[in-house]
Amino acid sequence: MQLYDTHAHFETEDDSSIAGILARARESGVTRLMAVGGSDELNRAAIMARNLRPDDVRLALGADRDQLSRSAGETLADIRRLLSANPCAAIGEIGLDFHYSPGTSRAQCDLFAGQLALADEADLPVVVHTREADDATLGVLDDVPWRHATLRGVIHCYTGDTPFARKLLDRGFMISISGIVTFRLAENVRTSARYVPDDRLLIETDSPFLAPVPLRGKRNEPAFIVHTAAFLAGLRGVTTEHLAELTSANALSIFG
């Protein structure tokens, strides 16, 4: 069984620690993963992970909704430099989160839109975070001109309802399910996870956060995705092997 963790953060810049995480992932059947940035620190650690295992690790670099201490122009210039210096498979994570900082909504939208434009320029897919910002997310996605065939990307760690999922699917996105699907109070996530079509479904850890049951409360890592895969397979009435095969094929189709 081969698994693809489409969203893993590395919060350390210690080579041996990152190497250990990657080794445990390989031992658990994770044959490929996406190392995802989002801040200066996360971007540097993601680059280190990719450089340690270039055959197994794909790279996404970007600035998330919290990176507002500089102007959007300065941040975009930094991301552009990173993209030119590293072999990226995607731009991310980017997006909107109005749960904690609704007062920065306009600045978040500007940064999000700017990185979507960079993705268009580079012809790369995007890794998008959205929380309590459904209408704004759709508005930014629809307002940014897209010169290529279609906007490509994934809505990571999906926690929305099925009507929002339908709108995102209509716009060509894949939807990634994290360990939240195993949480007792996450019935809305389970409903959405049943709804997503086979050819649009991805899985992820969002490590080091959101470890799945039965490991909830531990520091998450890519090796733990086996638990999310098994739970999601049962939810959708298929074998874990089938779920791993289809989600890996989907991830390969968009990220390589």
Ordered domains of the chain (ranges, CATH): 3-255 (3.20.20.140)
- Per-residue pLDDT, 73: 86
Q: Look at residue 149 in the predicted model and tell me its pLDDT.
A: 59
Mean pLDDT to the nearest integer, 59-67: 94
pLDDT, mean of residues 228-239: 98
What phi and psi values does residue 36 have, to the nearest 5 degrees?
-115, 135
- Please list, in sequence order, all residues whose beta carbon lies within 8 angstroms of the beta carbon of residue 154, skipping any fewer than 6 positions away: 6, 125, 126, 127, 128, 173, 174, 175, 176, 202, 254
Report the alpha-carbon distance of residue 64 to residue 127 in Å, rounded: 10
Q: What is the pLDDT of residue 85?
A: 97
Span 27-37, average pLDDT: 98
Mean pLDDT over residues 78-104, rounded?
Answer: 94
What's the pLDDT at 95? 97
Q: Give dist(CA 190, CA 213) in Å, integer.
A: 14
Give residue 5's pLDDT. 98
Query: In whole angstroms, what is the distance from residue 9 CA to residue 122 CA?
Result: 23
Give CA–CA dist 45/186, Å, rounded: 30
Q: How many CB atoms lie within 10 A of CB 13?
A: 12
- Angle at 109 (CA atoms; ends 103, 111), nearest 5 degrees: 110
The whole-model pTM stands at: 0.96
CB half-sphere exposure, 106, CA atoms < 13 A: 2
CB atoms within 10 A of CB 30: 27
Distance CA 93, CA 155 (A): 10
- Binned at pLDDT 50, 70 and 90, residue 168 comes out as very high
- CA–CA distance, 130 with 177 (Å, rounded to integer): 13
The pLDDT tens digits of the residues spanning 193-221 come to 999 999 999 999 999 999 999 999 999 99
The pLDDT-based confidence of 69 (bands split at 50, 70, 90) is confident
Strand order in the sheet with 126-131: 3-8, 30-38, 57-63, 90-97, 126-131, 153-155, 174-177, 201-203
Number of residues assigned to the chain: 256
pLDDT score for 13: 82
Q: How high does pLDDT run on average in the chain?
A: 95
Report how far residue 123's alpha carbon sits from residue 230's, in angstroms, rounded to the nearest whole number: 34
Give the three-class secondary structure for 18.
helix
- Min mean pLDDT across 18-27, 68-77, 158-167, 247-256 is at 68-77
pLDDT surpassing 80 at residue 148:
no
189-209 in b/e burial notation, b at 16+ Cβ within 10 A? bbebbebbeeebbbbbbbbbe
Of residues 193 and 70, more confidently modeled: 193
